Amino acid sequence: NGKVPGNPDCGMIVIRYSMADGVQEDSHPHPGKPFHAKGFPRTAILPDNQQGNVVLKLLIKAFQRRLIFTVGPSLSRGEEDCVTWNGIHHKTQLHDSGSGHGYPDLGYLDRVLEELKQNG
């Protein structure tokens, strides 16, 4: 129903990521040690247009390939062994508050497509 600022001619896609605490696997920094999924669920927003839907499909693939999140130190929390973003930027706010995490940002979809391409 809502509109994404800077994209007045389309609706909005809302992505909801849910994660739970768990135990680190061999691919994580401390196998066998617990990790914490603080701050979940996390929400991301895309414009519901052709390019936004391409990004959505690629984000789904990236999530399935475990590229969206990683386990490691949380810079924002100052804690170890946390689920953190893994370098593929997401817009987590509808309106930008100066953090760069919201809209309008007319170059965002092009940038995230490049990040997705770089991450395979």
Q: Is the pLDDT of residue 4 over 70?
A: yes
> Furthest-apart CA pair in the chain: how many Å?
49
Q: Is the pLDDT of residue 100 over 90?
A: no
- Mean pLDDT rounded to a whole number for the chain: 93
Instruction: Please report the pLDDT score of residue 120 as a whole number.
Output: 74
Q: Is the pLDDT of residue 1 over 80?
A: no
Instruction: Give residue 36's pLDDT band: very low, low, confident or very high (50, 70, 90).
Output: very high
The structure's pTM equals 0.90
Phi-psi region of 56 (alpha: psi -120 to 50; beta: other; left: phi over 0): alpha
Express each pLDDT in 60-84 by its tens digit. Answer: 999 999 999 999 999 888 899 999 9
